[in-house]
């Protein structure tokens, strides 16, 4: 089942029930088989196992960065795994500028090696062209549509590259 996944949507707790869910629903309506933990996991599922498998088997990862994103060990772990596995990432900066992303050591309990790993992954994400959204000024349905279109374009590119090999 996970090998059919084409897009992984990652979001912090403050965006899962708005932009991430809307994006998931839009991708699902396009038959793209997205993965979002609150939509795809059931009670009793192993959190890390399912999410790690979804990341490793997806072709594109969409990460919704928000003001609270870097407070979450899980979000940072998922981002690092995406970057380490060299997945195509589409960042969405939701009410935050890329320059504001940093690991808050006082909020995330982990080793020095993990902090370095997370900071490296954040820098890689900041260096990737993404979409920005300001909830005070923007239209949420518009950014979801644009993001979905970009995901489709990236998947088509990846499929074309696979056929060339």
Positions marked active-site = 78
Long-range contacts of 134-139 (CB under 8 A, 24+ apart): 134/95, 135/94, 135/95
Order of all β-strands in the sheet with 34-35: 34-35, 7-11, 60-65, 88-94, 131-133
First-residue to last-residue Cα distance in the chain: 25
Phi, psi of 112 (to 5 degrees): -60, -40
Instruction: Give dist(CA 146, CA 143) in Å, integer.
Output: 5
Q: What DSSP state is assigned to residue 110?
A: -
CA nearest to 37, candidates 72, 56, 12, 14: 12
Task: Provide the β-strand partners of residue 10.
Answer: 63
């Amino acid at each position: 089942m996970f090998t059919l996944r084409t897009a992984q949507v990652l979001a912090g707790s403050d965006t899962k029930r708005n932009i991430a869910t809307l994006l998931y629903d839009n991708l699902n309506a396009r038959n793209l088989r997205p993965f979002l933990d609150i939509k795809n996991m059931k009670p009793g599922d192993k959190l890390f196992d399912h999410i790690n498998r979804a990341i490793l088997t997806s072709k594109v990862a969409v990460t919704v960065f928000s003001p609270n994103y870097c407070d979450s060990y899980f979000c940072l772990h998922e981002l690092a795994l995406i970057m380490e596995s060299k997945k195509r990432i589409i960042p969405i900066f939701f009410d935050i500028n890329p320059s504001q992303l940093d690991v808050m050591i006082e909020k995330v309990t982990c080793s020095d090696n993990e902090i370095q790993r997370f900071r490296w992954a954040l820098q890689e994400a900041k260096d990737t062209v993404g979409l920005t959204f300001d909830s005070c000024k923007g239209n949420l349905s518009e950014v979801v549509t644009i993001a979905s279109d970009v995901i489709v374009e990236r998947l088509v590119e990846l499929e074309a590259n696979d056929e060339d090999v």
